[in-house]
Amino acid sequence: MRISIIGVKGGSGKSTISLLLSKALSEMGEKVLLIDRDPLGWTSRILGLEGDGLVKSIIEGKEHGEFYAEKKYNNGKISVIKFYGEGPRFFTDVSIIHKNTVLLNKVEELYSQILKKKFDFYIVDNPSLVDFNDEIVKHELSIFLKNFPKVKILRIYVTDPSEPSIKATIDYIKKIESQNNLGNGYGLIINLVPPYPEELDKSKRDLKEALEETKLNSGFVLPFIENLFQFNGKIEDLEIPEEIKLLARQLKYLKGD
């Protein structure tokens, strides 16, 4: 099963949730590949992968570059692939490989070798506001689908609790879910909610209304957790909120055998 974590706004916690969900699933005995499609590369760094990324490595002739790692920790193991180089050079790199069939084929070959390790879950971390026409999406996804044309694909949306962000996210969900028939939107997470009763209650009401409007199946309100905010430690120290554990159980149930 492939789970794409997406949203409108930077800083809403998409990467943190990608990492938390990967850890939760791995601790349930699932074999997880975290696909770091975000040029910021934060999830890769937390998992100890600080290399150039797959695309940049191929362009620079480093076929054995640092773009894949298997991170073992006390209760599990997460594999991670860093797809792009860090920062705005992504645009230059994609332009280069699209003009060079040899490079493009090499990216596909090496990525496919990793995918053939056959994972139970593929968790995709994304930059903000991606859609299916973006190069950052199309390139990785096309290779993935060549390897797994029948894979079940779900999307989980993430927003902060501000009214403008929730409204923008609802509009974004409607756009993404209407523009293609590849997979389905599954859930919405309102993240970084101030941990006060009135704020949590308001976000729960906002979540209920958003789920009714978007027709997504599941949703969670995640309170602000100081230890997770701008986390820069080790995967062993990352504490998984109960809401993410519940989401992981839902996804494992949906995956079945």
Whole-model pTM? 0.96
The pair of structure tokens assigned to 223 is: 């309170």
Cα–Cα dist 228/241, whole Å: 10
What are the start-end ranges of the H helices in the chain? 14-27, 42-46, 54-59, 89-98, 101-115, 135-147, 163-178, 197-214, 242-255
Q: Which residue ranges make up each domain of the chain?
A: 2-255
What pLDDT does residue 185 have?
97
Q: Under a CB-based contact definition with an 8 Å cutoff, are residues 22 and 78 in contact?
A: yes
Query: Could you list the pLDDT tens digit for every one of the 257 residues in the chain?
Result: 999 999 999 999 999 999 999 999 999 999 999 999 999 899 999 999 988 899 999 999 988 889 999 999 988 999 999 999 777 788 889 889 888 999 999 999 999 999 999 899 999 999 999 998 888 898 899 999 999 999 999 999 999 999 999 999 999 999 999 987 799 999 999 999 999 999 999 999 999 999 999 999 999 999 999 888 878 888 988 999 999 999 999 999 999 86
Q: Which CATH superfamily is domain 2-255 in?
A: P-loop containing nucleotide triphosphate hydrolases (3.40.50.300)
What pLDDT does residue 230 have?
78
DSSP conformation class of 210: H
Cα–Cα dist 142/139, whole Å: 6
What pLDDT does residue 257 have?
61
Chain centroid offset of residue 191 CA:
15
What pLDDT does residue 219 have?
98
Residue identified by tokens 């499609």 is 37
What pLDDT does residue 190 have?
98
What pLDDT does residue 57 have?
93
- If 0-12 CB within 10 Å is exposed, 13-18 middle and 19+ buried, where does residue 223 land? middle
Tens of pLDDT, residues 23-38: 999 999 999 999 999 9
Cα–Cα dist 193/202, whole Å: 10
Cα–Cα dist 173/188, whole Å: 9
Q: Give CA angle at 195 (192, 201), nearest 5°.
A: 95
Tens of pLDDT, residues 185-229: 999 999 999 999 999 999 999 999 999 999 999 999 999 998 888
What pLDDT does residue 89 have?
80
The pair of structure tokens assigned to 24 is: 């939760």
